[in-house]
Structure 1
Amino acid sequence: MVQICEVESALAKAVADYIYPDSSGEVMTSAIGFDVKICRGWPQETELGNDLMASPGVGWITVNQKAGSTVDKTRYRRAWYSRENDTAFGLTLLSAKSGDTVTFQGVAAYEGVAGAVIDNIAYPVQVNSGDTAVLIAQKISAKINNIGHSDVSCSGATLSVNYPDTIYGRVGECVTVARELSRTEQGFNVSIFAPSIEMRDIMEQAVLAALLEAPLSDLDKREVGYLDFSGREIIDTNLNANLYRLDLTWKIEIAWTETMQSVPALWPVGIVNSDWAFGVGGTAIPAALPPVGAIRFDAWYDMTNSIDQQCATALDAPEWLYRLPGNAVLDSKGVASWPEASQQSIDQEISSAISCGLSFWAFDSYEQDNTLSLALSLYLSSNNKGSLRFCMIGQSSNWSDTDSEDGYADVLKRDINLMSRNEYMTVMNGRPLYFVLDASAEQLAGLPGGLSQAITFVRNAVSAATGQNPYIVYLSGAALADYDNTIAAQNVGADAAGAYCTPRLSGAPQPYSALVRAAENDWDGRSNTGFPMIPTAMTGWDQRPLVDRPQEFYPLSPALTDSNYYMQALAPDIATHIMNMTTFLQSSTESPASVGLIYAWNEFAEGGWLAPTYSQTGPDTTRVTTVGSAIKNATHESVFPDLPFIT
């Protein structure tokens, strides 16, 4: 894409090449009989004055974009075209097909693809600039041997197979393709500053001769049009003695283009490997990324709720306003609040979650008539859920009800009923995913038969209603290094263990990278226990608003100070951490459910969020768009990988 600065430089160079045609020596001789300084931008006043007053005088020629000269010249056909490489690919085949051998030769001048086909199975490898024929043959041989083809040998740049196999090769270079997105006409002033009218006339003729004939050869002609002379203006008014100025105006069209690398199609029909084929039916499509979901804590939807009021109080200090939910408002005194959630507002939030790349929301479970369940109710009634599913995080501390016939509370039975819904998140061939938060012995005292019997109650009820055994994950509120909940998970009959969040505070501020390290160490540690696990990615942890303004709903340790926190994460770093989790899931044998959890969608008070947040100019969606873009790109690459990287 040609930039304005490149056009200015090209104009200045064309003038300089004309006035100083021989620039190879240490001393350059002017072709017009006196020296001229040629540059982009404006001359420094003192230097210009000294040059003009010198004997003999020194002229100046400057090049600048003309203000207010931009005119839209966009055409609307955006066809792709190829940009041919300047030289040959360099890598060739001595013989494309010779029965039982194929030999490569040369050195690759560009990136590309090379490969061999043995009995209709293709083995492609990526070619990098500078790769030799021998290296390419070795790459292909290694790929073939990794797949288990034992009849192939490599000698130098030659691949050989034993009868009755046949082999042939292909090579091709990557080509840059481009298309024009918009085009503008830009004006440029070539300004002449001379110590006399006579010298100005000579300099003007030199500029005209240089630019009227100049092809501006350094610029791509598909992006830059012809240079047209459009005006001449003498500017001598109110200038100092010995200063004669003339502006020559030129117009040129400049295109703004989009480019990308196009990989050659060497085998338009044929098998690539055991999982991929082009033009051949019956082959499997590789799985997309493992699904990831985000935890929801829904104290942001009804200001009549005392918990919403506490959250607003904690965050309406000026330094924490950026952590308020995106629909928050401030009154004239700076007090924060938010409107009651509506179907429209939750539908908008669903759209944000889908654009963020989430597969599901994990709702903290509260009683149905509690306004902390309002967002869940509006999610369930939405017609816009689309691909966004949901699951529940049961709080075992509120499961007991001594007044009920079976001893279990309605909130637990509501969770069980929800698992029959079509949009409920399932894993491992249809098993409803259910998270259970750890609780203290005191909190579980009222449960008949304890937590183990309660989980059995859940399994039996869900299995009876759905025909599927729920996949129950026992969550702790701390990192494995601080509390190993895997034994407790096994004792209560859970299928897997995990963590709601994994901060490891040190008594001093820590960078977000330290929180990432703590979370990813937690994944590895849980994998090493040998008990099935689900990983949790952390978007942040910073409880300083609650330390500064303590709230009843958030009881904190008296030892917790405002020095115990992680610094705010940048959106790209959060995206990288989440993508690391998907990579971990793809390679882990200890996470059979192959699903990831994110802390959190909207834990604004504790400092972990993806959801849009408050700003004076409207909701800040930076994290949504950045994470969504990373997941979208990685999903596309997973389903439609570039040919050079297929394994």
Structure 2
Amino acid sequence: MTITTADIEQSLAAKIASFVYPSESSGESIFDFDVKIARGWPPAAELNADLTAASPLAWITVNQKFGMTRDKTRYGRGWTPSRTQSDIGITAKTSNGVLQFNGVATASGVAGAVVDDVAYPVYVSVGDTATLVAQKIGAQIREVGRSTIATAGSSLLNSSARTFYAKISSNISIERELCRVEEGFCISLFAPSIAYRDTLESGVMTALLAGSELLRDVDSGPLKFVKREAIDFSLNEGLYRLDLIWTFEYGWTETQAVAPTLWPVGVVNDAWAFGVLGTYTPPKAPPIGAIRFDAWYDMTNTIDQQCAVALSDGQWEYRLPANASITTDGSVTWPTATQDSIDLEITAALSAGLSFWAFDSYSPSNTLSSALSLYLSSNKRGNLQFCMLGQSSNWGDPSGVDGYSAALHRDIDLMSDDFYFTVLDGRPLYLMLDATSDQISELPSGINGAVSYIRSKVGHDTGKEPYIVYLSGAALQDYDNTAAANSAGADASGAYCTPRLNGATQPYSSLTAAAAADWSARAASGFPMMPTAMVGWDQRPLIKNPQAFYPLDPSLNVEDYYETATPDALADHVTTMAEFIQSTSSTTCGAGLLYAWNEFAEGGWIAPTYLTSGSNDERVSALGSAIQKLEQETLYPELPIIT
């Protein structure tokens, strides 16, 4: 349904009018004075006469607020049904090998017969009789050479078919959103006194904030109150005016009628067929997870503090966490994480179509683990699972159990959690980040011994060996970690991130090309792999404002980064990775990684980010649409149809 600004203004005026004058029969206002309610501006002479009359009349007007129109269009919205299938006046009944059609079509649609699990549908127009429908279906059956079905008036006669029945339905109406607009509206109150004006304001606020939706059967957002503007320059003339400013978001849609799908569709040849004879099982959309770097949840942590300092330049405001605050002196801060704040992130991740989060593993006592703790205590997790990304650099602890740290033991214990993400018939996915030789030397039995220790513990606790992916911090072209992964006893190799800087600014397309080249090179190596898609890479905040926790190569300069991805380009890259996983299923575990959910300082994020007026969730929306489309394509593959 397409609506206009005039429609919204009219609805606002009508909603206010029905509140002020609830009884049409009495015609009495709920106030102790009458009110004129209209679109547009009141004529000056009429307004003056009304305000100065012995029994004054007030005015309420509704107008568009110019300068407040905003494009709120989302991404890639496909066709969705706006009306379900229904009867069309034609009915059918099978009895003793006779399929009897009855009635006259009162709506257009599709009717058909199924003979030996093959469907023979025909189009039905308004006015078609049962006899005509039966003859159309019979003609189509005979056209493909089936001689066992005969036509007699409005009936089809079956002599030997195993399955023989009909389905009938009307066309369905589908729609898609072409664009989405947020419009500003001004409700102006004109009163002869401040008391009148206060009464009007209370009534209008109640009328618009309470009650039913503004426009029924329209895909729209809520009516939002923005501000009040008292306009007092005419007080000496007995005019008290107040403007109440609102916003309303709505979509422009396109609608069309299409024939309904009444039967499963397959390819009709030696291997494929309709109904139970079909042999094709489409591949499922691969699960996608995102890496988390959780230095955004407690400002008492020095890592949080350094991240805030790095992003304190106003240039980086657009990539701050959504709940960040900018103080009067320009410094950046954010509140300590709560269950509610993590629950909001979970909702966003599910909206983005993610299947799991990969938590960077830190000591359980470090506040960098607070997001993990709140995720684990959430009852909002739904379909969002998790896995751990262990850092072999912090596995060793001479004072720990068996010489291993509390962080590693916590990771092992979590692999028994009901929400832990698994691959390949229930194997817990464990990601491990490589480390320096000095760090590995602190492990009781080296990296190979640590991996064996993890396998033994997890296998004992879950009955399944973990699937361990050995991640490097660079693309395969710059550092081939497949041999190290194999030597360590890992199941597969991969990369935490895959930027390939060249000293100059590069487009986002170069970053996605580098990532895709990494996938192909790993697959060609013959060693199992897990692909990582790059949603961005821009370390300029840390280059311009170096921080101790993040040492950088001194050769890096402020031109050495990738340009920010558009939401659509990001979604396309993730789609490409999903298609790669489907095409190389024999060399992957069937899942993919994203760098990253919230690496704001390094320039890789999907999570909602800071806006002065709320939060920017464009990346969440774009990724959600892309993954939803992938899932739909696996359920409804593009296949040839019988004609």
TM-score clears 0.5: yes
C-alpha separation in 2, matches of 1:542 and 1:561: 11
The superposition leaves residues 530-570 of structure 1 with CA deviations (integer Å, 9 ceiling, x where unpaired) of 11000000000000000000000110000011111000000
C-alpha separation in 2, matches of 1:572 and 1:269: 31
Residue matched to 1:61: none
Residue matched to 1:529: 525
Give TM-score scaled by structure 2 length. Answer: 0.62
The superposition leaves residues 434-476 of structure 1 with CA deviations (integer Å, 9 ceiling, x where unpaired) of 0000111111111122100100000000001111100000000
C-alpha separation in 2, matches of 1:620 and 1:469: 40
Question: Do 1:79 and 1:180's aligned partners in 2 also have CA atoms closer than 8 Å?
Answer: no
Residue matched to 1:640: 636
Deviation at 1:177, TM superposition (A): 3.6
The superposition leaves residues 495-518 of structure 1 with CA deviations (integer Å, 9 ceiling, x where unpaired) of 000000000001100000000100
C-alpha separation in 2, matches of 1:180 and 1:466: 46
Question: Do 1:510 and 1:567's aligned partners in 2 also have CA atoms closer than 8 Å?
Answer: yes
Residue matched to 2:538: 542
The superposition leaves residues 180-217 of structure 1 with CA deviations (integer Å, 9 ceiling, x where unpaired) of 99xxxxxxxxxxxxxxxxxxxxxxxxxxxxxxxxxxxx
C-alpha separation in 2, matches of 1:314 and 1:382: 31
Residue matched to 2:358: 362
Question: Do 1:116 and 1:122's aligned partners in 2 also have CA atoms closer than 8 Å?
Answer: yes
Mapping of residues 366-445 of structure 1, within 5 Å: 366-404=362-400, 406-445=402-441
Mapping of residues 603-618 of structure 1, within 5 Å: 603-618=599-614
Structure 1 counterpart SS, 2:403: coil
Report the aligned-residue RMSD: 4.4
The superposition leaves residues 258-313 of structure 1 with CA deviations (integer Å, 9 ceiling, x where unpaired) of 414625547579997978865x5998864531100000000000000000000000
Identity %: 55
Residues 507 and 386 (structure 1 numbering): CA distance in 2 closer, same or farther, change over 3 Å?
Answer: same
Mapping of residues 485-564 of structure 1, within 5 Å: 485-564=481-560
Residues 121 and 507 (structure 1 numbering): CA distance in 2 closer, same or farther, change over 3 Å?
Answer: farther
C-alpha separation in 2, matches of 1:469 and 1:180: 46
1:318 aligns with 2:323: no
Question: Do 1:121 and 1:270's aligned partners in 2 also have CA atoms closer than 8 Å?
Answer: no
The code of the aligned residue for 1:608 comes to G
Deviation at 1:642, TM superposition (A): 5.9
Deviation at 1:401, TM superposition (A): 1.0
C-alpha separation in 2, matches of 1:165 and 1:561: 76
Q: 1:335 aligns with which of 331, 335, 355?
A: 331
Residue matched to 1:459: 455
Deviation at 1:633, TM superposition (A): 2.4
C-alpha separation in 2, matches of 1:405 and 1:600: 32
Deviation at 1:118, TM superposition (A): 10
C-alpha separation in 1, matches of 2:338 and 2:273: 46
Structure 2 counterpart SS, 1:300: coil
C-alpha separation in 2, matches of 1:398 and 1:180: 51
Residue matched to 2:193: none
The superposition leaves residues 323-347 of structure 1 with CA deviations (integer Å, 9 ceiling, x where unpaired) of 1100000111111000000001001
Question: Do 1:80 and 1:179's aligned partners in 2 also have CA atoms closer than 8 Å?
Answer: no
Q: 2:293 aligns with which of 290, 293, 297?
A: 297
Residue matched to 2:15: none
1:629 aligns with 2:625: yes
The code of the aligned residue for 2:620 comes to V
The code of the aligned residue for 1:479 comes to A
Structure 1 counterpart SS, 2:615: coil
The superposition leaves residues 360-394 of structure 1 with CA deviations (integer Å, 9 ceiling, x where unpaired) of 00000000000000000000000110000000000
Question: Do 1:541 and 1:565's aligned partners in 2 also have CA atoms closer than 8 Å?
Answer: yes
C-alpha separation in 2, matches of 1:514 and 1:342: 38
Residue matched to 2:575: 579
The code of the aligned residue for 1:357 comes to G
Deviation at 1:634, TM superposition (A): 2.1
Residues 159 and 80 (structure 1 numbering): CA distance in 2 closer, same or farther, change over 3 Å?
Answer: closer
The code of the aligned residue for 1:378 comes to L
Residues 403 and 551 (structure 1 numbering): CA distance in 2 closer, same or farther, change over 3 Å?
Answer: same
Q: 1:599 aligns with which of 584, 590, 595?
A: 595
C-alpha separation in 2, matches of 1:337 and 1:575: 30
Gaps of 5+ in 2: 6-61, 65-80, 86-108, 122-142, 149-159, 163-169, 178-250
Structure 1 counterpart SS, 2:514: helix
The code of the aligned residue for 1:568 comes to T
C-alpha separation in 1, matches of 2:252 and 2:609: 34
Select between 437-446 and 258-267 the one with higher mean Cα deviation. 258-267
Q: 2:284 aligns with which of 282, 288, 291?
A: 288
Q: Which of the two has higher C-alpha Rg? A: 1
C-alpha separation in 2, matches of 1:265 and 1:258: 20
Residues 622 and 79 (structure 1 numbering): CA distance in 2 closer, same or farther, change over 3 Å?
Answer: closer
Residues 644 and 560 (structure 1 numbering): CA distance in 2 closer, same or farther, change over 3 Å?
Answer: same
Residues 490 and 410 (structure 1 numbering): CA distance in 2 closer, same or farther, change over 3 Å?
Answer: same
Gaps of 5+ in 1: 6-66, 70-77, 83-111, 125-157, 167-173, 182-254
The superposition leaves residues 24-65 of structure 1 with CA deviations (integer Å, 9 ceiling, x where unpaired) of xxxxxxxxxxxxxxxxxxxxxxxxxxxxxxxxxxxxxxxxxx
The code of the aligned residue for 1:564 comes to D
Deviation at 1:410, TM superposition (A): 1.4
C-alpha separation in 1, matches of 2:431 and 2:299: 28
C-alpha separation in 1, matches of 2:334 and 2:439: 32
Question: Do 1:180 and 1:257's aligned partners in 2 also have CA atoms closer than 8 Å?
Answer: yes
C-alpha separation in 1, matches of 2:585 and 2:252: 48
Residues 405 and 416 (structure 1 numbering): CA distance in 2 closer, same or farther, change over 3 Å?
Answer: closer
C-alpha separation in 2, matches of 1:268 and 1:412: 49
Structure 1 counterpart SS, 2:500: coil
C-alpha separation in 2, matches of 1:389 and 1:476: 23
Residue matched to 1:619: 615
Deviation at 1:636, TM superposition (A): 2.1
Q: How many residues align?
A: 446
Residues 266 and 406 (structure 1 numbering): CA distance in 2 closer, same or farther, change over 3 Å?
Answer: closer
Give TM-score scaled by structure 1 length. Answer: 0.62
Q: 1:350 aligns with which of 323, 346, 349?
A: 346
C-alpha separation in 2, matches of 1:516 and 1:473: 21
Deviation at 1:80, TM superposition (A): 4.3
Residues 592 and 425 (structure 1 numbering): CA distance in 2 closer, same or farther, change over 3 Å?
Answer: same
